[in-house]
Amino acid sequence: MIKEKLENNSSKIKKVLKYTYMYGASRTLIKVKGHYHMQKEYDASPAKVLKDKTKSIGIVGCGNHAFTDIAYFLRKNKGNVIGSSMDIDKNKAISLAQEYKAYETSTEVESMLNDENIKLIYIVSNHATHTPYAIEALEHNKDVFIEKPISINMEQYTNLVKTVRQSKNSVYTGYNRPFSPAIETIKPYITNSSITLNCFIMGHKLDADHWYRKPSEGSRVVGNLGHWIDLSTHLVMARERLPQEFELTLLSANKKHKDDDFVLTIKTDLDDLIVLTFSTRSDPFEGVMENISFQNEKIIANIEDFRKMTIWDENKKIVKKFIPKDAGHEASVLQPFSEKKRDWKELEWSTFIMLKVEEMLQNNVKDIAFNIENEIDKLV
């Protein structure tokens, strides 16, 4: 027993030291705080304070990601701008509010929606609730940041797209890799020629009863692979010409959990070739790891876990290192305060493709083909 405790403590210390090297001291500290945040319990909600009109942001869903990423990057760059926190677990709502000086907490979203001080709502709740909360917020004239995935099925997707297209409010999404310095470095090189992209992703092992696996929340296609489907869509749409015809092939190599070890290939009518391999055969100690290779006419690029990047530009070789590691999380969170904002059409496309892959997985379909704009027009 003592030996196990020592080994466990040693592993935690090693992880803290590794994270400090990868992300810096302040980000590591908030990740440690986030661990305890998820375990705190309170007897009662703290008393309300007078509402501060300078605090114009609400957080819906106060789990670890909201605490250690969304709220952290907001405070780091904008100060204590969070006015209201909401979670169905009052303990998480209170803990986040106390750390980030929010003036109100709730287990219901209505008080936030009716709060005239709150202009922007970050939705960081469980996957199945992203779309309903986003639609409610837009209908209450709020700007919205929707953490990924923005929808978990075609019905949600259709309702959300219709609402966004009719709304005058701004909508941002939490897919972060398009905002990484590595991807931003690649984009100016992209020409109208065909693209080849290969992403090898090493994901965490998940327990059989993990909430990602619940039918109501979508599989790991929705919870994980959507990141790289979105990145692929972003790069494919970085050209003047856009593909219309998509051919998808999905192969799984895990008999127990078909969304743990699988490969997705995407081919377009512009001869683009995309291969996304998702593997969970060993648990990555440092968090999700990824290796990305990209090729387009004059450029070859390789991104090693968003910590190092090598570019071959014809006869020139360029090597860049990113310390701390930067997969674009901070820039993504700060979209409402920046000129960097994703084109909504990209999110319509990437989410539609992701949901088609999800349907393939659930229905054991190996191959499909479709015209993307025709299919989206039929829905909305």
CA-CA-CA-CA dihedral for 74, 80, 84, 88, to nearest 10: 60
End-to-end CA distance of the chain: 59
Question: What pLDDT, on a 0 to 100 scale, did the predictor assign at position 367?
Answer: 98
Q: Residues with Cβ < 8 Å from 234, sequence gap 6 or more? A: 177, 178, 183, 342, 346, 350
Question: What pLDDT, on a 0 to 100 scale, did the predictor assign at position 53?
Answer: 87
Q: Residues with Cβ < 8 Å from 221, sequence gap 6 or more? A: 259, 354, 357, 358, 361
Residue range 177-379, CATH number: 3.30.360.10
Helix-, strand-, coil-residue percentages of the chain, each rounded to 5: 45, 20, 35
Any idea which fold 2-125 has?
Answer: Rossmann fold (3.40.50)
Domain boundaries, the chain: 2-125, 177-379
Token duo for residue 104: 């109100």
Of 170, 168, 146, which Cα lies nearest the Cα of 157?
146
* Full pLDDT tens readout for the chain, 380 residues: 555 554 555 666 776 777 777 778 888 899 999 999 999 999 877 677 788 989 999 999 999 999 999 999 999 999 999 999 999 999 999 999 999 999 999 999 999 999 999 999 999 999 999 999 999 999 999 999 999 999 999 999 999 999 999 999 999 999 999 999 999 999 999 999 999 999 999 999 998 888 888 888 889 999 999 999 999 999 999 999 999 999 999 999 999 999 999 999 999 999 999 999 999 999 987 789 999 999 999 899 999 999 999 999 988 999 999 999 999 999 999 999 999 899 999 999 999 999 999 999 999 999 999 999 999 999 99
* Cα distance between residue 65 and residue 47, in whole Å: 25
* Cα distance between residue 176 and residue 178, in whole Å: 6
Question: What pLDDT, on a 0 to 100 scale, did the predictor assign at position 69?
Answer: 97
Amino acid at 365: V
* Cα distance between residue 13 and residue 289, in whole Å: 20
Give bridge partners of residue 122 from the DSSP assignment: 59, 145
The sign of the torsion formed by the CA atoms of 78, 80, 85, 89 equals: positive
Of 89, 101, 40, 92, which Cα lies nearest the Cα of 65?
92
Question: What pLDDT, on a 0 to 100 scale, did the predictor assign at position 11?
Answer: 60
